[in-house]
Amino acid sequence: MFLAAVVTPELRAQSVTLEGPTSAVLPSLTPTFTGRVVGLGAERPIRYTVQVATGPDFQTLVLDSTFTSDETVVPIQITRPLLSEAVLFFRLRARAGGGSLVDSPVFGPRTVPTWLTLISPNSRTGDQVATRRPTFVWRSARILPAIGPWKYDVEVTTRSGAVAVTSGITDTTFQVNVDLETNASYRWGVRAYLPQGENVRVQSISTFGVADPALPTVTLFFQNFPNPFPSPSAGNTCFWFDIAAPGGRVALDILDIRGNLVRTLIPSADGQTEFPAGQYGRGAPGTGTNCDGRFTWDGTGNDRRTVAPGVYSARFRLGSAAPIFRSIVFRGR
């Protein structure tokens, strides 16, 4: 517990202390403290001022609240949600009657917990789920019940827009109420809000896909993702492809804008060229990724040197069928 005293030159017996959470991260957005005064004299009431600031010099205040009490030991309850992830400093000021204003030592720094954190599916490399109605899990920072509770809106989106929206949830687990399509890339997000209007919205850091265990009926080469790349959550771009029965010989190459070969992805180091009917490129469910590392491009050529930023093409060929092309935007490194 943080406990210290300030002794003023004028009245050495006077002191004000502020006691609060000992952990570096506060246990809630509305933490509780205890104030104590000694030697301020017999005059009552005592005027207390709680200050919260972004720096130890208290030049930028985020809270400056005053109250009076006849007691020398007072509970102090923060009733306004503190800013998510802010690093803050606290102090208590006290004055009895016409006496001198006495400050407590600075309490802090303390970090405010994150208001809203998405848990699953939410890995940086993407996720692959095994059901068309996945369950989403998140958590919110603790808050004083009197100013809560948290409520949530959940949204699932594709590049073309929202496919599922649910509002007013009070739980932190939710199963989507529509069937999501397989072989599609989705994101999900949550908006958390309080009765007085405070709110925050967080989106998944990467995409997730829905696994389809059935054998493909047609051969497809999907658009790579992320595109452009690299993105904040992925250094490589990923390729998915489906091969219908009976399968066949596959080649996958990266070409520059003039059609020159830049990198051969298939065959890769394992030498595989024959692929039976099935789906390829997806990460296995439960592995925390929606991308198979064998079928990715990191922006380097066959010589392993990084290529120049620009537009490239992925050329996919199955047997003697006409090649399929997908455009790639490489941002460079």
333 residues of the chain, pLDDT tens digit each = 333 434 344 444 699 999 999 999 999 999 999 999 999 988 999 999 999 999 999 999 999 999 999 999 999 999 999 999 999 999 999 999 888 899 999 999 999 999 999 999 998 888 888 888 999 999 999 999 999 899 999 999 998 889 999 999 999 999 998 999 887 889 999 999 999 999 999 999 989 988 877 778 899 999 999 999 998 888 999 999 999 988 999 999 999 999 999 999 999 888 889 999 889 998 877 677 888 889 999 999 999 999 999 999 999 999 999 999 999 999 998
Cα dist from 24 to 1, 37, 172, 193, 326, whole Å: 12, 25, 25, 25, 49
Domain with CATH 2.60.40.380 in the chain: 15-111
Domain with CATH 2.60.40.10 in the chain: 116-210
> Which residue do the tokens 């007072």 mark?
74
Q: Is the peptide bond before 323 cis (omega within 30 degrees of 0)?
A: no
What would the two tokens of residue 239 be?
């390729």
Q: Report the distance separating Cα 169 and Cα 189, nearest Å.
A: 13
Using DSSP's 3-state secondary structure scheme, residue 176 falls into coil
Q: In this predicted structure, what is the pLDDT of residue 10?
A: 44
Domain with CATH 2.60.40.4070 in the chain: 220-330
Sign of CA dihedral 205, 329, 254, 213: positive
Strands annotated E in 204-309: 208-210, 220-221, 237-238, 241-243, 248-255, 261-266, 274-275, 278-280, 296-297
CATH class held by domain 220-330: mainly beta
Q: Does domain 116-210 fall into CATH 1.10.150.130?
A: no
Backbone angles phi, psi at 295, to 5 degrees: -120, 60
Q: Identify whether the C-beta of residue 282 lies closer than 8 Å to the C-beta of residue 294.
A: no
The neighbouring-strand residues paired with 173 are: 137
Q: Does domain 15-111 fall into CATH 1.20.1250.20?
A: no
Q: In this predicted structure, what is the pLDDT of residue 3?
A: 37
Closest to 152 (Cα-Cα) out of 137, 134, 133: 137
Q: Report the distance separating Cα 316 and Cα 241, nearest Å.
A: 9
Q: In this predicted structure, what is the pLDDT of residue 37?
A: 96
